Structure 1
Amino acid sequence: MKVNSQAIRIQNHINGEWEDEVGGQYVPLRNPSTGQVIGEVPISSPETSRRAVAAAAAAFPAWKAMPLPKRMNYIHLMHQALKDNLEALAQAVAVDQGKHIAEARGEVGRVIEIVQMACAIPALIQGETIQGIANNINGRVIKAPIGVFCGVAPFNFPALVFGWFIPFAIGTGNTFVYKPSTESPLFMQKMMQLLVDIGLPKGVVNVVHGERETVEAWYDDDNVSGVCLVGSTPTAQAIAAGCGRNGKKTMLLGGAKNFLLAMEDAPMDLLIENVLMSGYGSAGQRCLAVSNIAVVPEIYDEFVERLVAASKGVRVGDATDPEVFMGPVISAKAKERIERYVDIGVAEGATLALDGRNPSVSEGNKEGYFVGPTIFTNVTPCMQIAREEIFGPVLSVIKIGCIDSALDAIRKHKLGNGACIFTQNTYYTEKFISEADVGMVGVNVGICAPHPYLPFGGIKGSLVGNNKVQGKDAIDFFTQNKVATVRIVEPGAKPAAAGNAGNGAVRSCVAS
């Protein structure tokens, strides 16, 4: 593979040292906006992956024993480093992930908020005490760190997933091995250097790059306590199976197919604005992007007319161009997959109201991976384009009879990440919140992403297991409850006679 002299060489970071994958395979790193090779990424061997775990395991005892205020000082320094380097980190996301620079800044900004929330760990990690369980005996619950955790990030949110995993894991006293996507590793390359610069001890956070074999090396590694993932449902299921054989904890967020319901009283201007941001932001490559839009008959025609007109005005182009609204999809393979779904929709009988294939872009971006806004109308919930996750800027508009019909379609779908309703009616609002069979609900918002104070995650096929990210849920996942039974003994007191064991003494305590 030929790369220019300015090529980015992505490296692993193990036990405080940057490393090449000596003698190993490398894959090209491309800029999705141009299609050009800008660097190379190592495919780490299972042996390299296990070395990273060993480094994290070696660092764990000292990190766990570090006084909490000192450990939290690194989280505060991480927070400040993110703020000081927001633009450089956002540019990294825009270059190798293809996310528009404005959205890349927003992603890093959200990570700053998440790390700010992680600064509250000392309050959230506090245990519980029960006084007077018996004479002079108290009970105590301690939230203790567990050991080495490993995490797998998707290509679409390289910064956000770092924020979901690492600050909470290390803030609670664990150590970490992180595998970024080989398609968008540049954020973590820069972020890891910032962790080095703030003086984070060696081995507390390690980074390895690779593919399936890199992750599978963790399943049978006794040093690994748990594995985290944001990715597809099949990948989540595979990791659950591999970790389950060895009793490892998992936090696994899977795929999505999100619904948006527009009722007859929906504020139309707000609705259109939010559909554009949700459906076309990040080129539709996010787990909470709107995909299926259910619209009641009273406003269906007006909605379709206005959505198509507004979508035609969406400018597509280089992710670093501030005048552009939507950047590319991640790769040529992703572009081909999305375009196949457009063919499928046409074959199924849906109306292609707006064809986003071959959008107009500048001359320097002709080789980029662009799909423009695409809209299908006359879609039914049973069509393949309405059932399967496309992960691109493709919207399916469904004429739905009433709120009950929409809720039924949401209920029957195998995935249950998020759903939104646009209405000014309190009855519709409360009914939708109560009955929408998803993990996250939005009202008059196009992206129902919870604030970092609250848990993030779906249900059904969108969440394998029941552990969600961020907020108190993250604290619970990265800690274990240790229970202590403590007898208070007066100095110099004589032990009670056997016949008086009931007078404050414990004869035996057997749990059954």
Structure 2
Amino acid sequence: MSTEYIKIKNHINGAWLDESNGQYEPLRNPSTGHVIGEVPLSSPATSREATAAAAAAYPGWSAMPLPKRMDFIFKMHRAMQDNLEMLAQSIAIDQAKHIAEARGEVGRVIEILQMACTIPALIQGDTVQAIANNINGRLIKAPLGVFCGVAPFNFPALVFGWFIPFAIGTGNTFVYKPSTESPLFMQKMMQLLCDTGLPDGVVNIVHGDREVVEAWYEDDNVAGVCLVGSTPTAKAIGEGCGRGGKKTMLLGGAKNFLAAMEDAPMDLLIENILMSGYGSAGQRCLAVSNIAVVPEIYDDFLARLLEASRKITLGDAMDPDIFMGPVISASARKRIHDYIDIGLAEGATLALDGRNPQLPEANRDGYFVGPTVFTDVTPCMRIAQEEIFGPVLNIIKVGCIDGALRMIRNHPLGNGACIFTQNSFYTEKFINEADVGMVGVNVGICAPHPYLPFGGIKGSLVGNNKVQGKDAIDFFTQSKVATIRVVDPRGLAPAAATTTDSSVRSCVAS
């Protein structure tokens, strides 16, 4: 992929546009810290221009026969298959996700699109016959209008897949705000959508900060807003949309737990913690953070984890020979360093310090934090309570499975938790009692397959709807009920209203 200067643009009503207010901020490659382009900071007026374009496109798009709409979902699927490497490289350049993980992210979106291709089966309605004499009842799932979506920096492709295919496949139109820190994927993806012949205005892109989003709250063109982000941001959007009567699907923050039992398969456990805790530099909503370990294996586990963590290689996200790339920005690195200081001040032991990792010369100015491991952590410490969003692991000794479940239950967030065990009693107990939205057994990242809904509970979800699966269909549609009386055009009375068998037979004979 070319490394030429990248000028990100808005895309409204089929046209690539510069921001009219002329405000831009630099786009950096986190692997090097170098400026590689610029991103517009759009005005509220630009935001409303995009929603107006989506509203204008809605009548024609929603009236389009379902098979023709689905043609575009199939074309989208094929376009992503044919351009997987290009799309993955776009993620590795500005988001600095390791190229292998970026390929995996695009691959998962392709699977999500396969699921979206089942929309015709999932939006089928219901009919109740004969609810009264010659009266039937029918329920249909109908689109609502214009939806808007906000994406975080860490999964630019995945969140696109969670929102846009389901929204437009069910007949809505869309305005999408990518993160200003990782906009390149959507720039490439939008061009692919244009190449499929998608009608103008069906999907629009507006870049910027919260002013873009706040413009949607009182915008009569907007039916609903969806977000993947932090819990405070989700609550702020939920409050704003509540005032404006908008439908919302808001996924918030996470603090994920892993319980390691005495019979845990140790090699598998360590391998999964490395991928879950250090993959994407810990910048995942399902990254493992708090690891609860029983005394029987604690010493062996810790020794093996530290040994494996010290072998993690860091460097440019495009280098296939390294394991972990940088965090997204200098401010993200500082925040993680601050949490390490907080952990030390709270009395935790820094068993492995990732603040000064060894780096290739070309990446010395990048935003890197190495694997970091705290021991002697207690559940009430801030590092155990707050989302750090970096490659920092907290090791917490617990007496048994009940201690691990108690910590999970008492935590205000409830995104994901997993257990490593070969004991079926532990497995079933954990599945039933772990107070989270997504549970894993002997897997470090408990991300559901696209056929199933993705999302947490408690403070990790503001509202009710989750992404992907049937939950996505329910969010992007409304249930409409029709009550239908059938009247005989010949003026004959309904059969059920006749009083004798002979009169019924006479009606049928005539």
User: Once the 2 structures are TM-superposed, how far is the Cα of residue 467 of structure 1 from its aligned partner?
Assistant: 0.6
Matched, 1:135 2:133: yes
Letter in 1 for 2:374: F
Of 19, 30, 50 in structure 2, the residue corresponding to residue 32 of structure 1 is 30
**Aligned-partner Cα distance in 1 for 2:190–2:240:** 28
Q: How does 1:221-370 map to 2 (within 5 A)?
A: 221-370=219-368
Given that 1:141 and 1:483 are in contact with CA atoms closer than 8 Å, whether structure 2 keeps it comes out as yes
**Deviation digits for residues 13-60 of structure 1, max 9, x if unmatched?**
000000000232100000000000000000000000000000000000
User: Once the 2 structures are TM-superposed, how far is the Cα of residue 135 of structure 1 from its aligned partner?
Assistant: 1.3
**Aligned-partner Cα distance in 2 for 1:365–1:187:** 22
Change (3 A) 1:16 1:381: same
Give the secondary structure class of the aligned counterpart of 2:225.
Answer: strand
Aligned to 1:217: 215
Give the secondary structure class of the aligned counterpart of 2:130.
Answer: strand
**Aligned-partner Cα distance in 2 for 1:275–1:400:** 18
**Aligned-partner Cα distance in 2 for 1:396–1:388:** 12
**Aligned-partner Cα distance in 1 for 2:26–2:334:** 19
Percent identity over paired residues: 79
Given that 2:3 and 2:36 are in contact with CA atoms closer than 8 Å, whether structure 1 keeps it comes out as no
**Deviation digits for residues 299-325 of structure 1, max 9, x if unmatched?**
000000000000001101100000010
Aligned to 2:506: none
Matched, 1:61 2:55: no
Matched, 1:77 2:80: no
Matched, 1:434 2:452: no
TM-score (norm 1): 0.96
**Deviation digits for residues 254-298 of structure 1, max 9, x if unmatched?**
000000000000000000000000000000000000000000000
Matched, 1:104 2:99: no
Aligned to 2:505: none
Segment of structure 1 superposing worse, 34-43 or 339-348: 339-348
**Deviation digits for residues 358-409 of structure 1, max 9, x if unmatched?**
1111111100000000000111111111010000000000001111111111
Aligned to 1:410: 408
**Aligned-partner Cα distance in 2 for 1:75–1:228:** 20
Given that 1:86 and 1:105 are in contact with CA atoms closer than 8 Å, whether structure 2 keeps it comes out as yes
Number of positions where the alignment pairs a residue of Structure 1 with one of Structure 2: 497
Aligned to 2:507: none
Aligned to 2:504: none
Aligned to 1:47: 45
Letter in 2 for 1:367: D
Structure 1: 4+ residue segments shifted above 4 A? 500-503
**Deviation digits for residues 138-175 of structure 1, max 9, x if unmatched?**
10000000000000000000000000000000000000
TM-score (norm 2): 0.96
Of 394, 397, 400 in structure 2, the residue corresponding to residue 399 of structure 1 is 397
User: Once the 2 structures are TM-superposed, how far is the Cα of residue 491 of structure 1 from its aligned partner?
Assistant: 1.8
Letter in 2 for 1:185: P
**Aligned-partner Cα distance in 2 for 1:478–1:208:** 20
User: Once the 2 structures are TM-superposed, how far is the Cα of residue 495 of structure 1 from its aligned partner?
Assistant: 7.3
Letter in 1 for 2:142: A
Given that 1:24 and 1:45 are in contact with CA atoms closer than 8 Å, whether structure 2 keeps it comes out as no
Given that 2:21 and 2:42 are in contact with CA atoms closer than 8 Å, whether structure 1 keeps it comes out as no
> Gapped runs of 5+ residues in structure 1?
504-512
**Aligned-partner Cα distance in 2 for 1:175–1:501:** 50
> Gapped runs of 5+ residues in structure 2?
501-510
**Deviation digits for residues 212-261 of structure 1, max 9, x if unmatched?**
10000000001100000000000000000000012110000000000000
**Aligned-partner Cα distance in 2 for 1:214–1:246:** 15
Given that 2:21 and 2:43 are in contact with CA atoms closer than 8 Å, whether structure 1 keeps it comes out as no
User: Once the 2 structures are TM-superposed, how far is the Cα of residue 443 of structure 1 from its aligned partner?
Assistant: 0.3
Aligned to 1:468: 466
Q: How does 1:418-497 map to 2 (within 5 A)?
A: 418-493=416-491
**Aligned-partner Cα distance in 1 for 2:281–2:218:** 37
Given that 1:259 and 1:294 are in contact with CA atoms closer than 8 Å, whether structure 2 keeps it comes out as yes
**Aligned-partner Cα distance in 1 for 2:184–2:219:** 28
Aligned to 1:146: 144
User: Once the 2 structures are TM-superposed, how far is the Cα of residue 5 of structure 1 from its aligned partner?
Assistant: 9.7
Aligned to 1:117: 115
Given that 1:252 and 1:465 are in contact with CA atoms closer than 8 Å, whether structure 2 keeps it comes out as yes
Segment of structure 1 superposing worse, 327-336 or 486-495: 486-495
User: Once the 2 structures are TM-superposed, how far is the Cα of residue 436 of structure 1 from its aligned partner?
Assistant: 0.4
Give the secondary structure class of the aligned counterpart of 1:466.
Answer: coil
**Aligned-partner Cα distance in 2 for 1:474–1:227:** 13
**Aligned-partner Cα distance in 1 for 2:310–2:422:** 28
Give the secondary structure class of the aligned counterpart of 1:142.
Answer: strand
**Deviation digits for residues 99-146 of structure 1, max 9, x if unmatched?**
000000000000000011000000001000011101111100000000
Letter in 2 for 1:115: L
User: Once the 2 structures are TM-superposed, how far is the Cα of residue 347 of structure 1 from its aligned partner?
Assistant: 1.1
**Aligned-partner Cα distance in 2 for 1:303–1:208:** 47
Aligned alpha-carbon RMSD (Å): 1.4
**Aligned-partner Cα distance in 1 for 2:412–2:498:** 59
**Aligned-partner Cα distance in 2 for 1:22–1:229:** 26
User: Once the 2 structures are TM-superposed, how far is the Cα of residue 494 of structure 1 from its aligned partner?
Assistant: 5.4
Q: How does 1:3-18 map to 2 (within 5 A)?
A: 6-18=4-16
Given that 1:178 and 1:207 are in contact with CA atoms closer than 8 Å, whether structure 2 keeps it comes out as yes
**Aligned-partner Cα distance in 2 for 1:330–1:322:** 19
User: Once the 2 structures are TM-superposed, how far is the Cα of residue 492 of structure 1 from its aligned partner?
Assistant: 2.1
**Aligned-partner Cα distance in 1 for 2:99–2:305:** 24
Letter in 1 for 2:62: K
Letter in 1 for 2:398: I
User: Once the 2 structures are TM-superposed, how far is the Cα of residue 501 of structure 1 from its aligned partner?
Assistant: 12
User: Once the 2 structures are TM-superposed, how far is the Cα of residue 6 of structure 1 from its aligned partner?
Assistant: 2.5
